[in-house]
Amino acid sequence: MYIVNTQIKCLFILISSVTFMMEAGRHASADEPTPSVTELNQKLVEARDASDFKQAVAVLDQWINLQPDRPQLYYLRGCDNFFAGKYRDSVRDFDRLIELDPSRKQSLWERGISLYFAGDYAKGAEQFADYQNYHDQDVENSTFRYLCVAKADGLKKAQETLLPIERDPRPGLMEVFRLYEGKVTPEKVLEEMQNTMLTGQAAAGYRFYTLLYVGLYFEAHDEDAKAAKYLAQASDPKLLEAGSQRISRYMWDTARLAHQEAAKRVKQAEN
């Protein structure tokens, strides 16, 4: 879930994408109309740049029709389906990716988040437990497993089985971990965030992750109004802009979607 991994993965995806498209063009039947390599690539880049994830999925649909056995295409579409709010479609794409390349399963935290949003909490908890064997010092992984277990088996079980973390170096994340351990209150974590001596990108990153996981903590405790409040702050585009080098865009979109879902529940409760 670290931002540097996300950036490297995106670079790999872009390079791989062009290669896949070129191969598709070479192997297509001469009398069969196919999108040009340049056109498909440009459409995907434009859709993502505009955060038009439905269009990105549509482009990837075309691509997968051309090359249905390319694992990375399902990773791409799984991400974009998630960003578009199509959680179960996202899970299906990630599952297909694993079928084609089983070596990807352990590291696929994105699948765990999609499972959580899709309401498949037991499988989500299993995915995050697998990821712990891949990277055992990621507070985000531990907290998302807590969230899944809390929904499936209750808060007591979630806290008792919280995956141990000793040294996530990112500002604010160990404070978040202590919150999920039950050792500090949300108010204390927010106070520490406000009093930080960090500035610039580092301060924005600290603020984002604190707000995101405080919001999700309240979601786990069925306090949707508070969850919506802090998730709205976490998903503020101005915060992403201020901390673009310290905030994972994937996790910012996760905050955006979590806020939408929490706000929806608040509205339903009011009616």
Note down the domain range covering 93.
1-104
The Cα 230–Cα 209 span in angstroms is: 11
Q: How many domains does the chain have?
A: 3
Domain end among 79, 104, 129: 104
> 173-181 vs 139-153: helix axis angle to the nearest 10?
30
Domain end among 139, 166, 193: 166
Q: Are residues 37 and 133 in the same domain?
A: no
Residue 4, pLDDT above cutoff 80: no
Neighbours of 230 (CB within 10 A): 25
The Cα 115–Cα 95 span in angstroms is: 11
Whole-prediction pTM: 0.89
Please give the pLDDT value at position 226.
Answer: 99
pLDDT in tens, 38-71: 787 789 899 999 999 999 999 999 999 888 999 9
Q: Are residues 94 and 177 in the same domain?
A: no
Q: Are residues 126 and 99 in the same domain?
A: no
| Helix (H) or strand (E) run with residue 165 in it | none
pLDDT in tens, 94-138: 999 999 999 999 999 999 999 999 999 999 999 999 999 999 999
Q: Are residues 16 and 100 in the same domain?
A: yes
Q: Are residues 232 and 142 in the same domain?
A: no
Domain end among 63, 78, 104: 104
Q: Are residues 271 and 176 in the same domain?
A: yes
Residue 20, pLDDT above cutoff 70: no
